[in-house]
Amino acid sequence: MDYQNILVRYEDNIAIVTINREKALNALNRRTFAELRHFFSEGAEKNIIGVIVTGAGEKAFVAGADIKEFDGLDQESAAQLSRNGQEVFLSIERYDKPVIAAVNGFALGGGCELAMACHMRVAGGKARFGQPEVNLGIIPGYGGTQRLVQLIGKGKALELLMTADMIKADEAHRLGLANHVVEPGEEVAKAKEILLKIGTKAPVAVAKIIECVNAYFEPLVNGIEYEINAFGETANTEDFKEGAAAFVEKRKAEFKGR
């Protein structure tokens, strides 16, 4: 696929995906969703450590959905728009490599939902988070009512969703929405630091952790049973044998992802 709205580059075996619509404050339109869907389904190089998602420029990570595309929506077309976005963000949440949002500015509406679909969030000091959809007479449609509750709890999530209040990076960190807060411009560097540390661990085990944590939030999945099965699967890997041997021999493990 020929990417027009995202830029992809690789550094230290890490994919850095930049939403590249700076003049529109990186607003998410249908084309951007299509490109994200393609990247996370088949576009990424296979042996990467993980992915960093960020926004072009200094003002916005993603300032929201492209409201111009909402013109003329009816109930059916709006539901389809929401379903498409949900599917794309689920592909990020279920990606088998760690995905970190490097939030370098406004993460509002769909932008906040994109950040929450990533496995972790590093916020710059100028980052701002919010779900302002009620100001437009609608609600979040890309997972905001679900993931915000998961990350910060029901009471505070309801407050932010219903007031449309925007919070700063430090408040997001206090609430658990952001994993780390760094100086403006250091978001990608901090995300790389985290991914490089994860890259020293067993890849199969990392992928299984993502699966197991996601299973906790699946209503029809028994998370404990899922963990039991995943534990058995990781115990049957070459990486486990290497990790155990390295521990006994007091050396650094050399994992192969098998």
Q: Is 113 an annotated catalytic residue?
A: yes
Instruction: Write down the catalytic residue from 133, 218, 225, 227.
Output: 133
Q: Kindly state whether residues 130 and 46 are assigned to the same domain.
A: yes
Q: Kindly state whether residues 18 and 139 are assigned to the same domain.
A: yes
Whole-structure pTM value: 0.95
**Which residues are paired to 27 by β-bridges?**
none
pLDDT for the residue 78: 92
Q: Kindly state whether residues 50 and 173 are assigned to the same domain.
A: yes
Q: Is residue 1 part of a domain?
A: no
Q: Is 22 an annotated catalytic residue?
A: no
In the predicted model, residues of the chain with pLDDT beneath 70 are none
Q: Kindly state whether residues 78 and 24 are assigned to the same domain.
A: yes
Instruction: Write down the catalytic residue from 35, 93, 113, 187.
Output: 113
As for how many domains the chain has, the answer is: 2
Q: Kindly state whether residues 138 and 229 are assigned to the same domain.
A: no
Q: Is residue 258 part of a domain?
A: no
CATH number at residue 53: 3.90.226.10
Q: Is residue 253 part of a domain?
A: no
- Cβ contact 110:64 at 8 Å: yes
- Cβ contact 28:65 at 8 Å: yes
pLDDT for the residue 66: 87
Q: Kindly state whether residues 104 and 155 are assigned to the same domain.
A: yes
| Strand pairing category for 128-130 and 166-168 | antiparallel
Question: What's the pLDDT tens digit per position in 176-195?
Answer: 999 999 999 999 999 999 99
Q: Kindly state whether residues 104 and 215 are assigned to the same domain.
A: no
Q: Kindly state whether residues 10 and 124 are assigned to the same domain.
A: yes
Q: Is residue 237 part of a domain?
A: yes
Q: Is residue 32 part of a domain?
A: yes
Question: What's the pLDDT tens digit per position in 92-120?
Answer: 999 999 999 999 999 999 999 999 999 99
Q: Please, is 190 exposed, middle or buried when counting C-beta atoms within 10 Å of its C-beta (0-12, 13-18, 19+)?
A: buried
pLDDT for the residue 219: 87
Q: Kindly state whether residues 24 and 95 are assigned to the same domain.
A: yes
Q: Is residue 221 part of a domain?
A: yes
Query: Distance between CA 76 and CA 79 in Å, rounded?
Result: 5
Residue span of the structural domain in which 228 resides: 203-248
